[in-house]
Chain A
Amino acid sequence: MKNENLYNYILGIADNSLILGQRLGELCGHGPNLETDIACTNISLDLFGQVRSYFQYAGKIAGDGRSEDDISMLRKEHEYKNVLLVEQPNTNFAYIIVRQFLFDAYHLAFLRELQKSPDLTLSAIANKCVKEVSYHERFSSDWVRRLGDGTDESREKMQEAINDLWMYTDELFHQMEADKAMVAEGIGVDVTTLKEGYYAYVKEVLEEATIEVPESKYFQKGGKHGVHTEHLGYILAELQYMQRTYPNMEW
């Protein structure tokens, strides 16, 4: 492939939305009330819309006739480049909200930079996504405050969720070969520069929510390299089910 770094770079961005969208899609009809049900479905819908734009572009770059569906549904597990955070399960609504907030805060900062990319397709996608993701971030940070500063029970549940998911945050700022190459070409976002602002903002929201910021210095990584948690295999089993069972058909 002529432009393999750009192709991999796009996949690295899109896979996060793909897997998080899939996780949120599991919730449809099972939320704590209708309003949150609608909001989670809506976020999932936005994320899949973004995925389509990215993968249509990736297909063009690959130039081998692969469609958005081939790219999203016909890779092996180790070829998915999403961060471990987004594949974590819907343990309860606290985990769902904390996972969403930890990702949204990163996603929004990332897209604001990607808007400036000289790659016109990427910046156009970012322009569209940034509006959606600022709504996601408002939704998730509001719920972090609400549940953290709600009842004793809800604070406890939120604290447990943040303690468990914190170790997946550092990976958001790791750079792969493709990321470095795209930064060097001036096309990609240097995520390392987002890290400080991210943690400062997340801590601010957690403090408002009366949730303690975990002090652990032990983090997990691997997703960006294609080494995932045990959860991803099951996610892909559902995501790929139709394409694998009925190959080469139009739907």
Chain B
Amino acid sequence: MSEEQIRSLERHFNERIARDEKIEPKDWMPEKYRQTHIRQISQHAHSEIVGMLPEGNWITRAPSLRRKVALLAKVQDEAGHGLYLYSACETLGISRDELYEQLHSGKAKYSSIFNYPALTWADMGAIGWLVDGAAIINQVPLCNTSYGPYARAMIRVCKEESFHQRQGFEIMLKLCNGTPEQKEMAQDALNRWWWPSLMMLGPTDDKSVHTEQSMKWKLKRKTNDELRQQFIDQTVPQADVLGLIVPDPDLKWNEERQSYDFGEIDWDEFWQVVRGHGPMNKERMKARVSAWERGTWVREAAMAYAEKKQARKEKQAV
């Protein structure tokens, strides 16, 4: 293809996005668009399945049958999200096995928040309330993103995430209306999850390398700093309802901005965790890699069985 032809295709492509048309798997797309989407969608899918680990860790210890059932259903939803996000990613011409390979080798990233440990039952509340809360803020704009399969997957993901967030808040509410010991557990969880949740919305705008291009492709509609402010403004009143103290001495309502001012985020900690040195990075990866390796013989057997079955069918047909 001549350069002129490519330029014309690109022009046509950009016009379609500007008109809010969806790009579908068989449509022409710039290679960079494809790669960026593979990176972001797979990162999202990996986050879902790594995210199953800290919560899965509490299934056997849930304090009541009702909570156990709800937690199982939630973790199952996350596996389901992983499944349709991987499928959306596969439409861009990469296989699920290749995506796993990228996760296991450390080439692909997942949300850093899951590199923090889930230490008490209250963490199941805090994760739902804060982590899913921050995830929704990140994800709702993606329901209108330009890549069709991703946008459609996100509509379903967002519906379930908002249910999870309410469920998490409800766990916190129950603890806060319970005994002093329960309330203390809730406060401790908020203390540990607050700052990592703010970090979840990504580095500050001046440090974010992908923002500009992503805005153009509607992979992003608001900057990281805008999303973070939105999260804080939405969450602080909820903490007030719970009667919990947000662990930020600089947090203050700014009448003029009609928003909360907040304290300095420890970006050194953020980069440390992103680079693989958070409290749980090694354990999380070990759990994923070991599940995959222990499952090799199962996957091979399933393939062999399917082939045998097919061969028998063909023989019968003859």
* Docked CA distance A157–B63 (Å): 36
* Docked CA distance A42–B75 (Å): 10
Bits for B63-102, please: 1 = Cβ < 8 Å to A, else 0.
1111111001101100110110010000000000000000
Contacts of A73 in B (CB 8 A): 64
Contacts of B76 in A (CB 8 A): 28, 38, 41-42, 45
Chain A 44-92 interface residues, beta-carbon cutoff 8 Å to B = 44-45, 48-49, 51-52, 55, 68-69, 72-73, 92
Cross-chain contact of A239 among B60, B82, B297 (Cβ < 8 A)? B60
25 contacts between A and B (CB under 8 A): A28-B52, A28-B56, A28-B75, A29-B291, A33-B295, A34-B83, A34-B86, A36-B295, A36-B298, A38-B79, A41-B79, A44-B72, A73-B64, A145-B305, A146-B305, A147-B298, A151-B297, A153-B300, A154-B300, A239-B60, A239-B61, A242-B61, A242-B62, A246-B182, A251-B63
Chain B 277-318 interface residues, beta-carbon cutoff 8 Å to A = 287, 290-292, 294-302, 304-305, 308
If A25-B72, A49-B69, A146-B302 touch, whether A37 touches B287 (CB-CB below 8 Å) is no
If A28-B72, A29-B53, A45-B76 touch, whether A146 touches B64 (CB-CB below 8 Å) is no
Contacts of B53 in A (CB 8 A): 29
Whether B30 is near chain A, meaning CB under 8 Å from some CB there, is no
Bits for B196-218, please: 1 = Cβ < 8 Å to A, else 0.
00000000000000000000000
Whether A149 is near chain B, meaning CB under 8 Å from some CB there, is yes
CB distance from A216 to the nearest CB of B (A): 25
Whether B178 is near chain A, meaning CB under 8 Å from some CB there, is yes
In the complex the two chains form, is A41's CB within 8 Å of B49's CB? no
CB distance from B184 to the nearest CB of A (A): 11
CB distance from B225 to the nearest CB of A (A): 33
Cross-chain contact of B79 among A34, A72, A146, A150 (Cβ < 8 A)? A34
Whether A230 is near chain B, meaning CB under 8 Å from some CB there, is no
Contacts of A219 in B (CB 8 A): none
Whether B105 is near chain A, meaning CB under 8 Å from some CB there, is no
In the complex the two chains form, is B67's CB within 8 Å of A38's CB? no
Whether B181 is near chain A, meaning CB under 8 Å from some CB there, is yes
Residues of B within 8 A of A (CB): 49, 52-53, 56, 59-69, 72-73, 75-76, 79-80, 82-83, 86, 121, 171, 174-175, 178-179, 181-182, 287, 290-292, 294-302, 304-305, 308
If A93-B294, A241-B61 touch, whether A48 touches B72 (CB-CB below 8 Å) is yes
* Docked CA distance A147–B72 (Å): 26
Chain B residue with Cβ nearest A51 = B65
CB distance from A153 to the nearest CB of B (A): 5
CB distance from B226 to the nearest CB of A (A): 33
CB distance from B125 to the nearest CB of A (A): 10
CB distance from A208 to the nearest CB of B (A): 11
Contacts of B290 in A (CB 8 A): 30
If A45-B73, A157-B297 touch, whether A68 touches B302 (CB-CB below 8 Å) is no
Residues of A within 8 A of B (CB): 22, 25-26, 28-38, 41-42, 44-45, 48-49, 51-52, 55, 68-69, 72-73, 92-93, 145-147, 149-151, 153-154, 157, 235, 238-239, 241-243, 246, 249-251
* Docked CA distance A138–B56 (Å): 25
> Which of B76, B86, B292, B296: most chain A CB closer than 10 A?
B76
Cross-chain contact of B291 among A25, A30, A68 (Cβ < 8 A)? A30
In the complex the two chains form, is B75's CB within 8 Å of A150's CB? no
* Docked CA distance A145–B294 (Å): 19
* Docked CA distance A44–B69 (Å): 9
If A22-B60, A146-B305 touch, whether A154 touches B75 (CB-CB below 8 Å) is no
Chain B residue with Cβ nearest A30 = B291
* Docked CA distance A68–B175 (Å): 20
In the complex the two chains form, is A37's CB within 8 Å of B299's CB? no
* Docked CA distance A146–B175 (Å): 46
Contacts of B300 in A (CB 8 A): 150-151, 153-154
In the complex the two chains form, is A251's CB within 8 Å of B298's CB? no
* Docked CA distance A147–B62 (Å): 33
* Docked CA distance A216–B302 (Å): 29
* Docked CA distance A137–B215 (Å): 49
Chain A residue with Cβ nearest B303 = A150
> Which of A29, A30, A68: most chain B CB closer than 10 A?
A29
